[in-house]
Amino acid sequence: MIKKKAKVQVQVRRAYDTPERSDGTRVLVDRIWPRGLAKAKADLDEWCKEVSPSTQLRKWYGHDPARFAEFTRRYLAELKQSERSDALAHLRKLAKDRTLTLLTATKQPEMSEAEVIAQMLRD
């Protein structure tokens, strides 16, 4: 009998949103701590800044919707570097048997590194 692979539950939310019971493990994936957010209010399980994009790529992107496709391409290349790939493997392990919520401070989380990571983990 072939075992069906369990669907990985990974979601992306803003770090400023109120935590929900359905969040499971909450991990901030931004390199910089969200401005004005108290650590206690963030209710994080982890801060995995090693998986975030390089400062150069982050500044180039600037959350410009027109650059998201190219940002994704460049970021996927960065995720192959050892420090980032190790951090990504850690997140993959966290997502294996529980819901994983990736947090970001950006106003458009659907166009962020968190979304790129979530798509990788879901595939």
- 102 band by pLDDT with thresholds 50, 70 and 90: very high
CA separation for the pair 2, 20 (Å, rounded): 35
Q: Is residue 34 part of a domain?
A: yes
Q: Is residue 3 part of a domain?
A: no
State mean pLDDT over 54-72.
96
pLDDT at 2: 53
Q: Is residue 65 part of a domain?
A: yes
CA separation for the pair 89, 51 (Å, rounded): 10
Tokens of 25: 């493990």
Q: Is residue 20 part of a domain?
A: yes
- 7 band by pLDDT with thresholds 50, 70 and 90: confident
Q: Is residue 2 part of a domain?
A: no
- 121 band by pLDDT with thresholds 50, 70 and 90: very high
Q: Across the chain, how many H-helices and E-strands are there?
A: 5, 4
State mean pLDDT over 50-68.
96
Q: Is residue 4 part of a domain?
A: no
Q: Is residue 81 part of a domain?
A: yes
CA 70 to each of CA 30, 57, 58, 74, 116: distance values in angstroms, whole numbers, following the listed order: 19, 10, 12, 6, 12
Domain span at residue 44 reads 10-122
Rg, the chain, Cα only: 14
| Total count of domains within the chain | 1
Q: Which residue has the tokens 């529980």?
A: 98
pTM of the full structure: 0.91
Q: Is residue 53 part of a domain?
A: yes
The three-state secondary structure class of 12 is strand
State mean pLDDT over 80-89.
94
